[in-house]
Amino acid sequence: MRQTKNVGIFAALLAGLAMMAAAATPAAAYKVFVSNEKENTVSVIDSETLAVVHTIKTGARPRGITLTKDTKWLLVCTSDDNRIEVFDSKTYEHVKNLPSGPDPELFAFHPSGNPLYIANEDDNLVTVVDIHSDKILVEIPVGVEPEGMGMSPDGKVLVNTSETTNMAHFINTETNEIFDNVLVDTRPRVAEFTADGSQVWVSSEIGGTVTVLEAATRKQLAKIKFEIQGITPDAIQPVGVRMTKDGKWAFVALGPSNRVAIVDAKTFEVVKYVLVGQRVWQLALTPDDKLLFTTNGTSNDVTVIDVNRQRAVKSIKVGRYPWGVVAAPF
């Protein structure tokens, strides 16, 4: 409760500042979509008013969430319905369902906009789906409980992490075959390429670290560790990783420690821990890299972090167990 109050005070202070700032530089308004795992809904947030403007009803257990390249469609992994649900990103109407293989959790698009690569958490597979013909193109066997999906900016390499195998699998997207497996710390959750494609950051939830790999050689460049005063190390569980396009900052969601770490992406040093809601997992930056949205599973809210100020500015109540988040450029 104390934390909510603090955020409230921050929000009040910053609302004033934001209004002044808004007068100077008109802030872009974006739509931010948040999947609520235990409510079977997606909350739509307006990034300017920081309020929920709409709630979309989905199938069972919505988790991974993303937009098509043309931003017309919103895609949601409805894990317990074993499919991908497609919604119109502007009218919020249900368009169709895509096959996904069992228990889809997270996915990544080829940068050309098609196909879609889906991690099937329950079935040790990555499923490749054509989103226009609605056909499964190929299934790639990976480790136990695949989850994280990182696509290289040039579309040549897909990195999938498997939670119980503790590996980052490097997949050649031309042959759809694994060409390298890199052991990382326990329970890797998310793989994220840097904007220039030179590095892959892999978070390890139980290991408590983020491993930075050089994409070309798969060699470890750094292992980022986290330490928060007064928080038991076991509660520091890195999951979501996002980086600003200018390559300056990385953000790491630290699960039940209720913090997001801000990391200098050049030196790999943690510069700050921002207190957010409870059990923070996934993150999304607005297209202008000014705001970061965090999904706080057990406090049922989303925290908004001002990237420049490195501060939490608001908590927004969404649905039960917010899981995934994506920001649209409109």
Partner 1 sequence: MTDGSLTRTERTASALYRLLLAFAATAAVAFASMPLASAGGAAPAAPEASATAKPGVVTIPIILARERIDRLPPLSLLDQRPADDGLGGAKLAIDDNNTTGRFMKQAFVLDVVENADPAALIAAVTAKVSAGAGFVVADVAPDTLLKLADALAGKPAVIFNAGAPDDRLREEDCRANVKHSAPSRSMLSDALAQYMAVKRWRRWYLIVGERPEDKLYAEAMRRSAKRFGMKIVEEREFKYEVGSRRADGGFEQIQQQIPSFLQNAAEHDVVVVSDEAEVFGDYFPYRTWEPRPVIGTAGLYATSWHPAVELWGGTQFQNRFKRLNNRNMTALDYDVWTAVRSVGEAATRKRSGDPLTLISYMLTPEFEIAAFKGRKLTYRDWNGQLRQPLLVTTAKLHVTVSPQPEFLHQYSELDTLGIDKPETKCTAYKK
Binding region for partner 1 (CB under 8 A): 103, 121-122, 124, 141, 143-145, 156, 162-167, 169-170, 172, 174-175, 177-183, 186-187, 205-208, 216, 218-220, 223, 232, 234-235, 237, 256
Give the nearest distance from C-beta 185 to partner 1 in angstroms: 9
Which amino acid is present at 244? T
Residue 88 neighbours by CB under 8 Å, 6+ apart: 72, 73, 74, 94, 95
In the complex with partner 1, the residue whose CB is nearer, 55 or 164, is 164
Give the nearest distance from C-beta 180 to partner 1 in angstroms: 5
In the complex with partner 1, the residue whose CB is nearer, 58 or 124, is 124
In the complex with partner 1, the residue whose CB is nearer, 114 or 220, is 220
Assess contact for 107 and 115: CB atoms under 8 A.
no
Q: Sheet harboring 104-109: ordered strands across? A: 104-109, 116-120, 125-130, 135-141
DSSP single-letter state for residue 81: G
Give the nearest distance from C-beta 118 to partner 1 in angstroms: 15
Residue 270 neighbours by CB under 8 Å, 6+ apart: 224, 226, 261, 262, 263, 264
Give the nearest distance from C-beta 267 to partner 1 in angstroms: 16
The whole-angstrom separation of Cα 203 and Cα 200 is: 10
Give the nearest distance from C-beta 165 to partner 1 in angstroms: 4
In the complex with partner 1, the residue whose CB is nearer, 46 or 122, is 122
Assess contact for 320 and 39: CB atoms under 8 A.
yes
Q: ω into residue 256 within 30 of 0, thus cis? A: no
Give the nearest distance from C-beta 36 to partner 1 in angstroms: 16
Give the nearest distance from C-beta 319 to partner 1 in angstroms: 17
Which amino acid is present at 34? V
Q: Sheet harboring 209-214: ordered strands across? A: 188-193, 199-204, 209-214, 220-225
In the complex with partner 1, the residue whose CB is nearer, 73 or 188, is 188
In the complex with partner 1, the residue whose CB is nearer, 120 or 303, is 120
The whole-angstrom separation of Cα 330 and Cα 151 is: 23
Give the nearest distance from C-beta 102 to partner 1 in angstroms: 9
In the complex with partner 1, the residue whose CB is nearer, 91 or 229, is 229
Other beta carbons within 10 angstroms of residue 13's beta carbon come to 12
CA 3 to chain centre: 23
In the complex with partner 1, the residue whose CB is nearer, 70 or 174, is 174
Distance between start and end Cα atoms, the chain: 33
